[in-house]
Structure 1
Amino acid sequence: MLQVDVRHGVATLTLDSPANRNALSRALRAQLRSALTEALADDAVRVIVLDHTGRVFCSGMDLAEAAGGAAEDQGVNEFPALLEQIWDSPKPVVAAVRGPARAGGLGLLAACDVVVAAATATFAFTEVRIGIVPAVISAVVLPRMVPNVAHRLLLTGEVFDAQEALAGGLVDVVVPADDVDACVREQVVALGKGAPLALGETKRLLRAARSGPLTEQFPDLLTVSARFFASEEGQEGIAAFREKRPARWVPA
């Protein structure tokens, strides 16, 4: 149900269960978690791409499995770990959304760092229309989206297009369907120019919740800044900049 391809520093994980619209069945969730664990442990992997076969990106939880079962049998307790794995990944994760995404599928893409969507893709938070609540995915969806847009779309469950998803913050780039591959490659190349440890720390800063006055935040932030200026990566990056050459971590 999942194709895994690792080459040139990129691990491409392709949802491959088109018969059930790439629904997040137990088997697909398990395979995706396992593949993510391997990609995160592989030092050769710099960027992770989440792709799909078939017309649909992901239709959400497998409702055939969920029917008549207890919450723990429906992936409700397991799905957060999968979202957290993507959200907290120190390696950037890029989603290639070529077709419709629904319910839990929106949580999957919202957890990614960069979402490239085909102009023909559609989206919907359909949970309320079948009597359930988008509770788990709200943890990754709400930080991404414009609040009033998220408010309306999660309550109405209506279908919206890629341009509205872009304006609402759910996706980052919208391109013609034929250009998705090229755009994903551009994003991967751009991400590959970043230093691995610096990318991971920058992701941590972006995900961190901050509160309080700036004067209370700056001491910790200065510590991080000083540590990376003095690090092996930082010194290599500065040397590469001064010598007008690619840094060692940039793929050839």
Structure 2
Amino acid sequence: MTLNRPDRRNALSIELLEALCHELTRLEQDTTNRVVILAGDGKVFSAGLDLREAADTALVERSANTVKQTLEKLHLTPLIVIAVVQGGAFAGGAGVMAACDVVIAAEDARISFPEARRGLLPALVMNVLRHKVREGDLRDLLLTGDPISAGRAQQIGLVQRVVPATQLHATATTIARSVLAGGPETIRQTKKLIGEAFSDAASGGETDLIDRHLAARHSDEAREGLAAFNEKREPKWP
């Protein structure tokens, strides 16, 4: 499967995320489908949420719920999802990447969560990140918003394999074949078992997280951060 908005650096519009969820559901209905390799067309995996769309107050709740549903879908689907990251994955794009079972990144890829610089809160991806990244590294990642290298992302648990860009798809295929060597139902149950092992409610629950995310999306800082991004200027925080 390919995120196919290269002209917008595969920005995550509502339409794109809904299509991704729909396609995963379609593939799940045929149990002979077992592995999905998720890539992005063009120079980057995904630049993150479509911020032009995110600035539309009429779409805020639909956008937030679509992001939430997509992260849950990637996490809970019985399919094994392998993300192939070229160029970079940023903000929501990094969240989609992190929600996959295995992440393969090119050596020159960059990854970041710059939500705070847009006045946004990375609440929806917290359930994914809190099980993959240590607290100190997560504070560094989210509070600074600075991009990190693929190597650093591997060190902190966001990425599982780092390879030359020319070997991304070959590596993904090799991993997919390794998954296929396992029993189909055993692999599905193993993924479920892993999810259950990390299903504690330490974050305060998903309802609380989306409420906090929406509160941030409706805030003055979000309006200014999104306006600054779309107007190609530095934000003027209160």
Look up the match of 1:72.
Answer: 61
Q: Which moved more, 1:166-175 or 1:76-85?
A: 76-85
Considering Cα pairs closer than 8 Å and 6+ residues apart, tell me whether 1 or 2 has the greater RCO.
Answer: 2
Structure 1 residue corresponding to 2:177, chosen from 182, 189, 192: 189
Residues 1:42 and 2:34 are matched in the alignment: no
Q: Which runs of 4+ in 1 moved over 3 A?
A: 209-212
Structure 2 residue corresponding to 1:149, chosen from 137, 151, 157: 137
Look up the match of 2:90.
Answer: 102
Partner Cα separation in structure 2 for residue 167 and residue 156 of structure 1? 18
Shift of the alpha carbon at 1:146?
2.4
Structure 2 residue corresponding to 1:90, chosen from 55, 75, 78: 78
Q: TM-score, normalised by structure 1?
A: 0.76
Look up the match of 2:119.
Answer: 131
Shift of the alpha carbon at 1:46?
1.4
Aligned residues: 199
Partner Cα separation in structure 2 for residue 147 and residue 172 of structure 1? 18
Change (3 A) 1:211 1:150: closer
SS at structure 1 position matched to 2:23: helix
Shift of the alpha carbon at 1:165?
0.2
1:84 maps to amino acid: E
Structure 2 residue corresponding to 1:111, chosen from 96, 99, 108: 99
Q: Is the 8 A contact 1:106 1:137 kept in 2?
A: no
Unaligned runs of 5+ in 2: 201-238
Structure 2 residue corresponding to 1:59, chosen from 47, 50, 55: 47
Q: Is the 8 A contact 1:123 1:159 kept in 2?
A: yes
Q: Is the 8 A contact 1:118 1:177 kept in 2?
A: yes
Query: % of aligned pairs identical?
Result: 39
SS at structure 1 position matched to 2:65: coil
Partner Cα separation in structure 2 for residue 200 and residue 88 of structure 1? 10
For the pair shown, the structure with the greater C-alpha radius of gyration is 1
Partner Cα separation in structure 2 for residue 50 and residue 190 of structure 1? 17
Residues 1:176 and 2:170 are matched in the alignment: no
Q: Is the 8 A contact 2:109 2:150 kept in 1?
A: yes
1:198-252 deviations in whole A, cap 9, x for unaligned?
111111111114699xxxxxxxxxxxxxxxxxxxxxxxxxxxxxxxxxxxxxxxx
2:22 maps to amino acid: S
Shift of the alpha carbon at 1:162?
0.3
Partner Cα separation in structure 2 for residue 55 and residue 136 of structure 1? 26
Change (3 A) 1:63 1:143: same
Partner Cα separation in structure 2 for residue 32 and residue 83 of structure 1? 11
2:55 maps to amino acid: A
Shift of the alpha carbon at 1:44?
2.0
Change (3 A) 1:210 1:78: closer
Q: TM-score, normalised by structure 2?
A: 0.80
